[in-house]
Amino acid sequence: MRILISADMEGATGVTWPDDVVPGASQWERCRSLFTSDVNAAVLGFHDGGADEVIINEAHWSMRNLLLEQLDDRAQLLTGRHKTLSMVEGVQHGDVDGIAFVGYHAGAGMEGVLAHTYLANSITGVWLNDVRASEGLLNAHVVAEYGVPVVLVTGDDVACEDALGYAPEALKVAVKDHVSRYAAVCRTPGRTAADIRAAAKEAAALAVRHEPVHGGPFTVAVEFDAEHLAMAATVVPGVERIGERKVAYTSGTMYEGIRAFKAVTTIVSAAVEEQYG
């Protein structure tokens, strides 16, 4: 049994505001340990449940946040940027039996601690076939094309509720309860580690590959907080304006769809100026 963990940071234990997750910010170093604790608990739980191998794909910001030295020695860590499938890199090789979304969060325009989709503020909403989309929803459609089930989701309570829509059978662990975008009622790392480990042990039984699901075509619509960002996004072939601040494109597969989304967000990010984004 081979498990892939897609590890994001905004949904980690104790994380509530930007300084907790932005590399180099005042609280980031402290929260790296909390983030690593959540991921390590999942590693331990999956091995408790019979996994032979667990590989972790870093999915947050620079993708260089987890502390390798704190991980269980049986784990392997894929760290660094510029990967074909970004947050779910590794699922495409045909040897992954189940995937866990650890430290996930709600999407842009939703309630939830540090809610966003790829870009923290420039994107105000994403829709996949007219359904408001979080990173979890987008990534769930990607992994489905490779026959890999989502077996575990951790994050705040809103992220867990969101996961009911794209991974209803997966185990969910809320490590904190949303109060506002920058506030939450947080459980201690000792408690969340125990909860995640127990859930991962149970989730291992769900790690059974299925037939690939090809649900395309997929239409992705993206709304921005400024008109010029919609204009910038149309540089990507196939992306068209559908409103003053909104664009859309259609892809035959979610593999193509997520790569196009990455291109859009990369170009838009470069179009934001420091003072007048």
- Closest listed residue to residue 261, CA positions, set 275, 271, 247, 273: 247
For 218-270, the fitting CATH number among 3.40.50.10090, 1.10.287.130, 3.30.1360.130, 3.40.50.300 is: 3.30.1360.130
Q: How far apart are CA 17 and CA 58, in angstroms?
A: 20
Per-residue pLDDT of the chain (277 residues; tens, 9 = 90+): 999 999 999 999 999 999 999 999 999 999 999 999 999 999 999 999 999 999 999 999 999 999 999 999 999 999 999 999 999 999 999 999 999 999 999 999 999 999 999 999 999 999 999 999 999 999 999 999 999 999 999 999 999 999 999 999 999 999 999 999 999 999 999 999 999 999 999 999 999 999 999 999 999 999 999 999 999 999 999 999 999 999 999 999 999 999 999 999 999 999 999 777 6
Decide: 192 and 40 in contact? Cβ < 8 Å.
no
**Whole-prediction pTM value?**
0.98
CB 150 within 8 Å of CB 142: no
- Beta-carbon contacts of 254 under 8 Å, excluding residues fewer than 6 positions away, are 138, 141, 142, 144, 145, 215, 216, 218
CATH of the structural domain 2-116+134-206, one choice from 3.90.1300.10, 2.30.30.280, 3.40.50.10780, 3.30.70.260? 3.40.50.10780
Determine whether the annotation assigns residue 105 to a binding site. Answer: yes
For the chain, the structural domain boundaries read 2-116+134-206, 218-270
Radius of gyration of the chain (CA): 18
To the question of whether residue 10 is assigned a binding role by annotation, the answer is yes
Q: Report the greatest alpha carbon distance in the chain.
A: 52
Quote the pLDDT of residue 275: 75
Residue 82 falls in the annotated catalytic set: no
**Per-residue pLDDT at 138:** 98
Catalytic residue, from 47, 116, 141, 178: name it: 116
CA 140 to CA 26: how far, in whole Å? 33
Instruction: List the one residue out of 262, 246, 224, 124 whose CA is nearest residue 181.
Output: 124
Q: Is 214 annotated among the ligand-binding residues?
A: no
Tokens in use for 127? 């829709």
Which pLDDT does position 276 carry in this prediction? 76
